[in-house]
Structure 1
């Protein structure tokens, strides 16, 4: 099954909102660290429900935010959620291959391997739990480096990575091939694509509610301590690249 088909099904089932609920606990800390200034152009790569773009516009005054997703249903849902929030004019149903423009937020259906932006035209790129779905992640990084303006940043956040052993089972639960890199592999790939690595660290999930001990076992964890470590310590791997 293709990425498009897989996530069209997720969107149709309403699972995009569930993704937002699970990711927000760490995504909000990543978004807060982004050096977005009023008027900046931002790309949310693999936008899902569009929550990150709306948050950046509302909290940092981003000038134009584009949410790009490979699944038309995801883009359609993101557009509807943005309209429901009272943004934009809501006119026209242009959620397939075209840009669904809503005030300062636009949603596009696109391929990670061929980003529909001109060279040096985007100030910042954000991606949460989506980068590892790229068919050719090295080329995707080259595309990101191409569209970023000098000094622009790429904030790449993933929970599926080599050091997070509990995440390794995720591949068995989805038909789409996923790339599982380690922290050093992310840094090396960023540098090969021409991005300076400004920082890399783990953003722990201190907000998610962990089931009480009497509700254990859950999620196939061998011990409760391992489950707590996963959320409170490993959390999300964040790699930040800067365009020269």
Structure 2
């Protein structure tokens, strides 16, 4: 199944809003770090319900936000969740961005980058469309060191890349980014059941769930275009 087909199903089932609720636990902390200033343009890569772009318009007064998703249904849903004329939503693939060179100030991506067919090509495209000094905030919950997320491969019927933290830094640099930072943002809001309720939700022990949410959380890699 393609990424588009998989997430069209999610959108039709209303699971896009559920994704937003779960992602917000760590996304809000990463979004608050983005140096978006009034009048700037932001791209949300793999926008899902479009929550990130809406948040940046409301809190940072970005002049324009674009949400791009491989799923037509996701983009259609996101468009229906706002009447803001300065928030646009597009269907397209990450490797061929429909923007001019040096036309975007910042890019955000949450839980989407690892679905790219050619992640290196995506990074190269971003260095093309981002202006000098522009940033790419790439947030993922699925990566090599986050061992308790590896089972997602069996739950989502599409190919996924699983880089190490070091590979993220190396691939960013190879594409032309300066790596301004990388860290893990813990999820302190997901409720952890008591030990006597395990196994639960794919976790054998409470310690595994603590490690997944409180220690691994979300990996944030920040790239800056020189």
- Counterpart Cα distance in 2 of 1:173 and 1:153: 32
- 1:144 is matched with 126
What's the TM-score once normalised by structure 1's chain length?
0.91
Which 10-residue stretch deviates more, 179-188 or 212-221? Answer: 212-221
- 1:51 is matched with 51
Measure how far apart 1:211 and its partner are.
Answer: 2.1
- 2:180 is matched with 198
Aligned length: 226
- 2:115 is matched with 133
- Counterpart Cα distance in 2 of 1:77 and 1:123: 25
- Counterpart Cα distance in 2 of 1:212 and 1:18: 24
- Counterpart Cα distance in 2 of 1:232 and 1:77: 31
- Counterpart Cα distance in 1 of 2:71 and 2:214: 31
Contact 2:198 2:204 in 1 (8 A): no
Structure 1: segments with no counterpart, 5+ residues? 89-102
- 1:123 is matched with 105
Contact 2:40 2:63 in 1 (8 A): yes
- 2:166 is matched with 184
SS in 1 for 2:221: strand
Q: CA RMSD in A?
A: 0.9
- Counterpart Cα distance in 1 of 2:223 and 2:216: 20
- 1:41 is matched with 41
SS in 1 for 2:32: helix
Measure how far apart 1:223 and its partner are.
Answer: 1.8
1:3-18 equivalences in 2 (<5 Å): 3-18=3-18
Contact 2:45 2:69 in 1 (8 A): yes
Measure how far apart 1:74 and its partner are.
Answer: 0.2
Measure how far apart 1:220 and its partner are.
Answer: 2.3
- 2:222 is matched with 240
- 1:160 is matched with 142
What's the TM-score once normalised by structure 2's chain length?
0.98
- 1:92 is matched with none
- Counterpart Cα distance in 1 of 2:69 and 2:182: 25
- Counterpart Cα distance in 2 of 1:59 and 1:215: 40
- Counterpart Cα distance in 2 of 1:141 and 1:149: 14
Structure 2: segments with no counterpart, 5+ residues? none
SS in 1 for 2:213: helix
- 1:107 is matched with 89
Deviations 1:29-86 (A, max 9, x none): 000000000011000000000000000000111110000001110011001111xxxx
